């Protein structure tokens, strides 16, 4: 009977992927807006989240907010992302939007939240993975791609 090294580890690898996928699906979803001030929920300690409301000294989590001259920018952004592969609109209002972004390969779900701050004419953003510790920069890259999309239309 032949037994290769790959075939003996393949079942373990498949089990690991199945567990990660099941864990991803089991994590609660929803918006990450908090309180009456509609501030975005802070990032956890893990490096798989970025937020424009994080302390600027926190280089791991801080990302600059998006420029928005009016609330219509958030409406445009919401419409554009709804039509973009991988994004699903979960909830939206006049000054906020919550999306789920599903990765192509392993089908992990990340939460992407936007809040329009009329006082500063900014859209605050939070993008976070639901599972794991490191996202290899995926959330930061996602927000920068959204920033580029907005800049190209203004």
Q: Where in the chain are the domains? A: 5-153
**pLDDT at residue 33, rounded to an integer:** 56
CATH-assigned architecture of domain 5-153: 2-Layer Sandwich (3.30)
Q: Which helix (H) or strand (E) holds 117?
A: strand 109-117
| pTM of structure | 0.77
Burial class (CB in 10 A: 0-12, 13-18, 19+), 28: exposed
Phi, psi dihedral angles at 94 (to 5 degrees): -60, -35
**pLDDT at residue 154, rounded to an integer:** 72
**pLDDT at residue 138, rounded to an integer:** 95
Q: What does the alpha-carbon distance between residue 134 and residue 47 come to, in Å, rounded to a whole number?
A: 6
Instruction: Answer whether 60's CB lies under 8 Å from 126's CB.
Output: no
Assign 104 a pLDDT band (cuts: 50, 70, 90): confident
**pLDDT at residue 135, rounded to an integer:** 92
């Amino acid at each position: 009977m032949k037994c290769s090294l790959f075939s003996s580890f393949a079942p373990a690898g498949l089990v690991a992927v199945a567990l990660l996928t099941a864990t991803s699906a089991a994590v609660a979803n929803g918006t990450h807006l908090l309180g009456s001030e509609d501030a975005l929920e802070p990032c956890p300690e893990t490096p798989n989240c970025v937020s424009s409301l994080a302390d600027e000294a926190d280089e791991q989590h801080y990302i600059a907010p998006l420029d928005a001259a009016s609330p219509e920018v958030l409406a445009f952004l919401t419409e554009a992302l709804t039509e973009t592969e991988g994004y699903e609109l979960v909830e939206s209002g006049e000054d906020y939007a919550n999306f789920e972004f599903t990765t192509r390969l392993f089908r992990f779900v990340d939460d992407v939240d936007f809040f329009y701050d009329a006082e500063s004419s900014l859209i605050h953003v939070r993008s976070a993975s639901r599972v794991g510790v490191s996202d290899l920069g995926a959330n930061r890259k996602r927000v920068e791609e959204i920033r580029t999309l907005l800049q190209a239309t203004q």
